[in-house]
Amino acid sequence: MSLDLPPVAPSVTAALVQGLTPRLRKRLDAGIAKLADRPHVRDGDTVRIAVDDDTHLELHAPGGSVTSVDAIRCGCLLAPDCLHRAAAASAAPIAESEAETEPAAQPAGEPEPGAGADSDSGAGATSDTASVLTLVSETVTPEQRAAALAMYDAAAAVLEAGTDGAGAVLQAELLRAAHTARVSGLPRVAASAVSVVTQLRAARGTDPAYRLTDLTAALRDVLMTAHRLPDSTDADLADLRGSARQPYAPDGSLRLYGLFSEPVLTATGYAGAVTWTADADGRLYTVSDVAPGGAGRAVGAADRAVRVGDTALTHRELSRAGLAVSGATVSPTGRLGAGAGVRAVRAAGAAWSEDPLDRLWAAPVAEQVSRALTTGGDALLFLDVTLIGTVREAAGDCLLADCDGLTLRLAAAHDHPALPYRDNLRLLATAPGIRLRVVARLDPAPVPRALLVATRHPGDAGAHVDLGLDRLQHADLPAAATAPTGAASGSPPAPLDEAPLHLLRRRVHQAASAGRRVLAFPGDSAADSRRLSRYGFACAGDLLDELHAAAADRSRDVFGRLAPADVNRFARAWLAAAHYTEEVDRALCAAAWGAAGHGGR
C-alpha cells in the first residue's frame, strides 16, 4: 500500500469489518485498493485521507497506533458503518499488542508482584498448597478451548482460499480469532495468526519482501498450535500458550564484548538494529532498538545510542567495543533490559581472534548446528571458511565455501536493496581462496546452507564487517585474491542426488498460495507417490495421496448437488504434510552438516 498509515490493533480491524453489511463486505478489497491511491497528509498523531473532494477520513493514533474503533472517523453519509473505515483499518499495518513491546526491566532486588514477605504460617500454607497443586494436572480452560477451535477454523478457511482468495474479510476473521486468543491467555497462537495476516497482505500487495516459505511456516504454526491446544496439559500446555511478556530477571554485573550488529526489517512494519555481545563464558546477549518503520530506520538505527544505562555508545560502536553493566536484567532469550536500575559504561572490546570471543569459533561445527536445530530462532553459527566461488540458486547466486572439508553455501541474510548484504556477497565472490572467520545463521536445507550476517575484514584481521550495515570496497580485498568482476570462480559443485521430498513440499506450498482448489484439479499423484516410495519415503507418498484426495473429495446430497468441501479434512491433511516435510528437512539438514548424532529437538 502506498499509504503511510499508523498501525491498527487487530481487534479494531475485526470489529469494523464485522460491522459491514454483506454487500459492503464484497466490496471491501476493491475499497482498499481505491483508498491506497487517495492523497493523504499526516498532522502529528493524525492521518487524514481525502476519500473524495467533500469527504475525509481520519485515523487518530495518540500512542503511535490506533487502539479503538472511535479513533477512525469518516465524514461520509454511511458513517460510522461505512466501507471507508474498514478499508483504512485493513490497509494499515497491524499494531503489536501492548504486552508484546519491550517491558521496563525490573530493578535488581525488587520482588515479583505478589511475592511479599510472608509470615512463617503463611509460608507453610503456601508450601502445602504447592505440594497439592503438583498432583493436579493443568488443562485448558473452556475459554481457551473455544478460542483454539475458532482459531483453527479461521486458519483452515484461509488455507482453503489461498492468498488470492483470502481477502480482507477472511483476514479480519483471523484477526478476530487472534484477539480472542490473546484475551483468553493464548499469546503464542495469537502472534502467529497476526503473522499470517501480515504475510497475506504482503502477498496480495506484491511486496518484494514476501516469501511463500514464511507464509507456509506461519500458517503451519497456527494450525498446529490450535490443533494441539485443546488436549494439552502441564508443560506442553505452557509451551503452547506462550508468554505475552518476556520476564526479565536480575543478572548482577556483566562484562560484555561486542560481536556484531545487524539491521532488522520485518514484513510487519518494524525496523531497527540488534547488536550481539558475549561475556567471558561465551553466553550471548543482545541489545535491540526496533520500532515501527521502514528500510530507512533499519539503516539509521545502527548510529543510535544503545538503550542500556546511560552509555552513549551507538550500536555500530558497541559491536566493536565492550560494555560493563551493573544491575543487569536479562530475558530468557538473552535480551538486555533497560530499566531504571541498570547502569552501563563503555569498556574495552576484543577482536574475534582474541580471548574470550575466540572460544565461540572453537566449538565443533556439528555441535553448533545441533544446538541451532534444537533451539531454533536466532541461533548463530561461528565458522572458519575458505571461499571457493559461487553457485546459482533459484533466488540468486550465493557463495560457496569450504569449512573443514564441508562445502557449504552462504546466502544473503536479507534481500532488501537498501541493505548491503547482496552487494557485499557479490564482492566477496570475486575473491576465491580467501580465508574468513564468519558469523552466520543456519538455514535448514538438505545441503549445508547458512545466511551470512558478519565476517572478519578481508584486509584487517583485527576488524570485522557487519554485512547488513557496512559496505565493502574492492580496496578492502587482498590484491592477490581479487578476481576480475564476472570471472568464473571455483568449480561448480557436483550435482545433488537429492531425495525427492520436493514433490510433497511443492504441493504444501501450492496449497498455501493458491488454496485447496489448485490440488483438486483432475490428475494422478500415483507417479509421485511411487517415486517417493523408491527413495524410502513411503509415508510422504501416503501424505501426498491424502492431500490430493482431501482437496478433490466433494460428496453429493440426495438431490445430486455437490456438498461443500470438507475444509477440516483438507486442513488436517495439509498440516500433516507440512509438519512431515519440516521434520524431514530438519533431519536432512542435520545429516548434511554431520550433526545427526549430536542430539536433536
Domains of the chain: which residue ranges? 10-95, 142-241, 249-347, 363-476, 502-593
| H-helix or E-strand spanning residue 131 | helix 120-133
The CATH class for the domain spanning 249-347 reads mainly beta
Q: Is residue 183 predicted with pLDDT exceeding 60?
A: yes
Residue 566 DSSP code: -
Q: Over the stretch 455-468, which tens digit does the pLDDT of each residue have?
A: 999 988 889 999 99
Provide the pLDDT confidence category of residue 320 given band limits of 50, 70 and 90.
Answer: very high
d(CA 474, CA 18): 57
Q: Is the distance from CB of 177 to CB of 207 less than 8 angstroms?
A: no
Residues 6+ apart with CB under 8 A from 441: 378, 379, 380, 381, 413, 450, 451, 453
- Dihedral of alpha carbons 265, 266, 268, 272, sign: negative
Provide the pLDDT confidence category of residue 580 given band limits of 50, 70 and 90.
Answer: very high
pTM: 0.81
d(CA 500, CA 535): 8
Give residue 481's pLDDT. Answer: 53
Query: Of 271 and 228, which is predicted with more confidence?
Result: 228
CATH number of 363-476: 2.40.50
Identity of the highest mean pLDDT range in 227-231, 247-251, 335-339: 227-231
Q: Over the stretch 394-434, which tens digit does the pLDDT of each residue have?
A: 667 889 999 989 999 999 998 888 999 999 999 999 989 99
Q: Over the stretch 323-367, which tens digit does the pLDDT of each residue have?
A: 999 998 998 888 998 878 889 999 999 999 999 999 999 999 999
Sheet holding 40-43, edge to edge: 40-43, 46-50, 56-60, 72-74
Give residue 377's pLDDT. Answer: 59
Give residue 120's pLDDT. Answer: 38
Q: Do domains 249-347 and 363-476 have the same CATH topology?
A: yes
Query: Of 331 and 453, which is predicted with more confidence?
Result: 453
Q: Is residue 273 predicted with pLDDT exceeding 90?
A: yes
- Dihedral of alpha carbons 480, 484, 485, 490, sign: negative
Pick from 57, 97, 61: nearest CA to 73? 57
Provide the pLDDT confidence category of residue 451 given band limits of 50, 70 and 90.
Answer: very high
Q: Is the distance from CB of 13 to CB of 90 less than 8 angstroms?
A: yes
